[in-house]
Amino acid sequence: MRNFLQGIANTRFMALIRKEFGQIRRDRRVIISLIVPPILMILLFGFVLNPTVANLRLGVVDDSRTPESRELIATLTESESFATAGNYFSAGQLGDVIARGKLDAGVIVPYDFGRDLQRGRPATVQFLLNAMDANTARIAQAYAESVIATYNNGLGQSGLNADFRRVAAAGGQPRSQVVLHPAYLYNPGLVSSWFVVSGVFGMLCILNASIVSAAAMVKEREAGTLEQLMMSPAGTYTIVVAKITPLFLLLCLMVLGAIGLMKMVFQVPFRGGYVLVMLGAALCVLCGIGIGTFIATFTKTSAQAQLTSFFVNPPLTSLSGALTPAQALPAWLRPLTNLNPIYHFGVIARGSMLRGSGLGTLWPNFLALLAFTLVMVSLSVWRFRKQLS
């Protein structure tokens, strides 16, 4: 047994692997880029990219100054959607402040608001929304409408404006109402970081793997030691596989660290267990190594390799649905996401971690990821061999 182990340890392959590990250990830059970007990216993106719409700064012009108008404003601000940021005397003044970007929204209650309600006449309240940010505006609009609906329902119950209900109901039959009860599955607290973090995880696997491996691959050429490797009795396949294996193992450690961060800092639930996510991440890492090696075969220095990745990474990340939903892409771009490993990993990560889906629903994405990995790795190995021979 001992002889057997020694036999393996003494093979040419193991010697090359030991050499690669030694090289990586002495290269401070590789070590740093295995540790810093994962932590920085997961923490920064997870904490900072947050589309939640809450505490919008609301300016108030209350011309009515009645219990009814005060109750309306209280209803508006008692949820966390709006927070009063100031009272103004005229609509013009309010408009100026909104235009300067100091307020997100304004509400103008007309002077006859209370009187109209007392008499059973419908009253109109004007909302001004700073709609520059279309997403926030859309959600704020829905908030405002639902607050008004709540207020209207409350009017019927409180004794204050019973008049109105009587006047309105006098002509018609009893009023039936459909009430919608939304239930948020998989993420009842609507935590926004889970979506972002799971997307960044995929970006990290592919991009970091490609950057680290491109640097490692190009290094031998930069130092001029590639010729020595070529002259050694090791075959080209042995050289390439021995180059990839240590990188793969180290990057898998990075994946474990990233999973630990997601679990501990962001409390991502991992409902489908860890196996599927790790399997997907390992495929992603391999695919990233393939991309990095491929880039490295076209460049002469590591600076060039890094600059080349500026041409490759932006399309990979922005057409991946990692940070924003892939379904929000324009229809003509959406098919392109199918060619993107980050997209497939995102589907796998979100499906498994948040929804607890198994292979039964995720197999097409696994298949696609596997196909990319095989293509990228064999393409890069082929290019690398062509260079060596």
Residues 100 to 139: which contact another protein by CB under 8 A? 100-101, 117, 122-139
Does position 344 interact with another protein (CB under 8 A)? The reply is: no
Nearer to another protein, 24 or 388 (CB): 24
Q: CB count, 10 Å around CB of 344?
A: 29
The stretch near another protein (CB under 8 A) out of 10-18, 144-152, 202-210, 277-285 is 144-152
Give the phi and the psi of residue 166 in degrees, each rounded to 5: -65, -45
- Binding to another protein in span 151-190, by CB under 8 A: 151-152, 155, 161, 164, 168-169, 172-188, 190
- Binding to another protein in span 236-295, by CB under 8 A: none
* DSSP secondary structure of 38-104: HHHHHHHHHHH-------EEEEEEESS-SHHHHHHHHHHHHSSSEEEEEE-S-HHHHHHHHHTTS-S
- Binding to another protein in span 20-49, by CB under 8 A: 29, 44-45, 47-49
Nearer to another protein, 2 or 175 (CB): 175
Q: How far apart are the first and last CA of the chain?
A: 37
**Residue 316 Cα distances to 119, 197, 257, 383, angstroms:** 62, 17, 23, 21
| CA–CA separation, 76 and 130 (whole Å) | 17
Nearer to another protein, 94 or 377 (CB): 94
CB of 3 to another protein, least distance (A): 45
Does position 324 interact with another protein (CB under 8 A)? The reply is: yes
CB of 34 to another protein, least distance (A): 14
Nearer to another protein, 174 or 224 (CB): 174
Among 333, 339, 367, 375, binds another protein (CB under 8 A): 333
Does position 14 interact with another protein (CB under 8 A)? The reply is: no
Does position 210 interact with another protein (CB under 8 A)? The reply is: no
Dihedral angle over CA of 76, 78, 83, 89, nearest 10: 50
CB of 107 to another protein, least distance (A): 9
Nearer to another protein, 194 or 372 (CB): 194
**Residue 338 Cα distances to 136, 260, 332, angstroms:** 29, 29, 12
**Residue 289 Cα distances to 213, 232, 293, 296, angstroms:** 6, 24, 6, 10
- Best CA proximity match to 284, nearest among 316, 309, 261, 308: 316
Please compute, for residue 376, the number of CA atoms within 13 A of its CA located in the half-sphere on the CB side.
Answer: 27
| CA–CA separation, 179 and 188 (whole Å) | 20
CB of 376 to another protein, least distance (A): 21
Among 361, 375, 378, 386, binds another protein (CB under 8 A): 361
| CA–CA separation, 71 and 55 (whole Å) | 19
Contacts with another protein by CB under 8 A: the residue count is: 100
CB of 208 to another protein, least distance (A): 13
Residue 160 parent element (H or E): none
CB of 96 to another protein, least distance (A): 8
CB of 258 to another protein, least distance (A): 17
Report whether 285 contacts 205 (CB < 8 A).
yes
Among 3, 330, 335, 389, binds another protein (CB under 8 A): 330
